[in-house]
Amino acid sequence: MAHCHGSVGLKNIPEGARKIVLVGNPNTGKSVFFNFFTGMYVDVSNYPGTTLEISHGHFGTDVIIDTPGVYGISSFNDEERIARDIILSADMAINIVDAVHLERDLFLTQQVIDTGVPVIVALNMVDEAQRQGLSIDVDLLSDLLGVPVVPTVAVQKKGLNELKERLATAKTGRMTQGLEPLINRLINRVGSRGEALLVLEGDPAVAGRHGLEPENHREDIYLKRREQVNDVVKHVLQESSQGASLGSLLGRWMIKPVTGIPILALALYAMYLVIGVFIAGTVVGVTEETIMLEKYEPAVRGLIGQFISEESALGTILIGEFGVFTMTATYILGLLMPLVIGFYLFLSLFEDSGYLPRIATLVDRLLTGVGLNGRGVIPLILGFGCVTMATITTRLLASDRERKIAVLLLGLTIPCSAQMGVIAGMLAAIGGQYVALYALIIFLVLVVIGTVLNTLLPGKPTDLLIDLPPLRLPRLDNVIKKTSTKSYHFLKEAFPLFALGALIISVFQVTGILEYLQNMLAPLTVGWLKLPKEASTAFIMGIVRRDFGAAGLADLTMAPIQIVAALITITLFVPCIASILILFKERSKSEAAMIWASSWVVAFLIGGIVSQLYSAFGGDSGSRGALWVILSFLGMTLATITACHLARRNKTQESHVGG
């Protein structure tokens, strides 16, 4: 039996405990079930060999294990591989099915049934199905699948107790037709139905474990399973057709550029009002200024200062300007936490309502130009919140090539919200054409870097293939749950990195390396960027925190063009120390080092070109100089894109000739 796989690599699972696994497609509300069964005491651990986290908790003497949301189990990505291994080792599966999305969800249900594990189905969101005019014959569904089906509305706790009471009735369901003989041929060899199924479906990893070659039946089995599922759906589902509902009409508008772009602009504007104005202004004003800087920091300085002098080396590290107890705590709790919560709140709203995959569809074309696909929009948007948080989300991108491009774009060109606050303040003071100059140049740099990477890196961008679930009003409790889980995980992951970053900088400060760097940078700042000498201090501060860098510039007296050049440089400059540390964790050491080094080069190169061009075009005559700089950059961008386009065409032609 499947028990031979033991603890599926998760810690703290007692010997002999029954393993109950929660399985479902993405966004079916699995986490609500998980919390209902396990309560507060939950273990979260990194799944071995991946960066994904898997939660498990106790339910009586049994263990409940959550799995990532997947459409099927195989080896298409990390999520599926993990779900596959957990399901193969399970004693029982609770399958959460979205009643609104029966056709899609039952494929996974049938696949889990085919693994031979006892299953109970929770038919979730039945209230919403009803509202959409879908009526589902639950008893018939249960008969056809051969497993118990319990209708639920998880967010309202409806049906959950019944599900709990009926857990023991979970049983092995009706297999996909024609599968039995195939599985029986292999079962003695591999020991369990589930493993046999995956070998038949050509899963290389499972076949490898048994020293077998993966077999070639995936497509036959998938087609038969799909046919069986369609048949089940045809029998149990009745639709009272109601024409184009507002939801489907709106869903269509979101994808068409003519209406989709204004809708997206509106959504982003709402996001800006909530996060950029309310959270970054009002909330952070209280959390960072009033609570952390005015109350907390003096208190912790006083407390620790009793034992260690603030001027000593250890004192500097603990409670100095960049101290672990002072700056790290203030930064994370006072500034980052409110912003991160705000960004995850919007992400959860977009995700839960079904808007997110539609944004991905709308912007897909733009992002394929820079080597990403529509999915890449998620880390790019989050980057405006916190680059560290966004870098973590690049995990959801399909290929390593896309992750590489996304982290580089994030590290170089996307200013995080902390920095944006300071930048926006400085730009607002000097007027419209300079704002345009700044925004356009940063955007063009993003386009050029993305296009060049897309040309130079081997391979092609992965094509978008994305499920567009029906639009719905987001469920508040779902959204809150998602936001808090994501924010908590992020802060837990980032805290040690920020602390380590602060430690490194304090050591630099104590040893005088920081001052040395500042002096070294001065000629470059004055001669090439045409900025005051003190600006180099701001850049060095930018290594620590991006907003420190920008804030350092705010104190200097500069001409408008100097401000723009300085802000462009600081935006393109190295990501903050926590982002860099997360880069070292997520990517290879050489890649992270390369990103860090190249952002020095790119930042000073572009900033310098802006300054030099401006003075070459006659300098102080205001808007004319700015216009010329913009035109030059547009020209350079077009030239690069054309060159890349030609290079790509040559490459494909060569490969055609060669092949």
Binding site for other proteins (CB under 8 A): 71-72, 74, 76, 100-104, 107-108, 218-219, 222-223, 226, 229-230, 251-252, 255-257, 357, 360-362, 364-365, 368, 373-374, 460-461, 463-470
Among residues 162, 74, 61, the alpha carbon closest in space to that of 120 is found at 162
Name residues whose C-beta falls within 8 Å of residue 429's C-beta, 6 or more positions apart in sequence: none
Q: How far is the CB of 362 from other proteins (least distance, A)?
A: 7
* β-strands 42-46, 53-59 pairing: antiparallel
Which of residues 315 and 450 has its CB atom nearest to other proteins in the complex? 450
Residue 249 or 439 with smaller CB distance to other proteins: 249
264: part of which helix (H) or strand (E)?
helix 257-271
67 vs 518 by CB, closer to other proteins = 67
The minimum distance between CB 251 and other proteins, in angstroms, equals 8
Exposure b/e, 105-132, CB count within 10 A at least 16 = b: bbbbbbbbbbbbbbbbbbbbbbebbeeb
* Residue closer to other proteins (CB basis): 27 or 328: 27
107 vs 604, beta carbon nearer other proteins: 107
Distance CA 151, CA 166 (A): 12
Q: Which is nearer to other proteins, 12 or 216 (CB)?
A: 216
Give residue for tokens 């799995």.
67
Cβ partners under 8 Å of residue 394, min gap 6: 379, 402, 403, 406, 407, 410, 586
List the one residue out of 95, 118, 117 whose CA is nearest residue 106: 95
Residue from 134, 228, 135 nearest 176 by CA: 228
DSSP calls for 350-380: HHHHT-HHHHHHHHHHHHHHTT--GGGHHHH
Least distance from other proteins to the Cβ atom of residue 128, Å: 13
Distances in whole angstroms, Cα of residue 128 to Cα of each of 97, 133, 184: 13, 9, 41
Beta strand 92-98 with 42-46 is unpaired
Distances (CA, A) of 164 to 413, 542, 608: 50, 54, 66
**Vertex 273: Cα angle to 270 and 275 (nearest 5):** 100
For residues 384 and 415, the answer to whether their CB atoms sit within 8 Å is yes
Q: Which is nearer to other proteins, 460 or 585 (CB)?
A: 460
Shortest Å distance, C-beta 373 to other proteins: 6
Shortest Å distance, C-beta 131 to other proteins: 14
Q: How far is the CB of 248 from other proteins (least distance, A)?
A: 9
In the complex with other proteins, which residue's Cβ is closer, 232 or 275?
Answer: 232
Query: Rounded to 5 degrees, what are φ and ψ at 29?
Result: 90, 25
In angstroms, give the least distance from the CB of 492 to other proteins. Answer: 33
Reduced to 3 states (helix: H, G, I; strand: E, B; else coil), residue 163 is helix
Q: How far is the CB of 576 from other proteins (least distance, A)?
A: 33
Nearer to other proteins by C-beta: 220 or 321? 220
Residue 416 token pair? 């995080």
Alpha-carbon distance of 421 to 406, in angstroms, equals 23
Q: Which is nearer to other proteins, 512 or 659 (CB)?
A: 659
Q: 3-state class of 186 per DSSP?
A: helix
Shortest approach of other proteins to residue 221 CB, angstroms? 10
Residue 250 CB, shortest distance to other proteins, in Å, is: 13
**Closest CB to other proteins among residues 254, 551:** 254
Interatomic CA distance for residues 165 and 173, integer angstroms: 19
- What is the smallest separation between the CB atom of 231 and other proteins, expressed in angstroms? 12
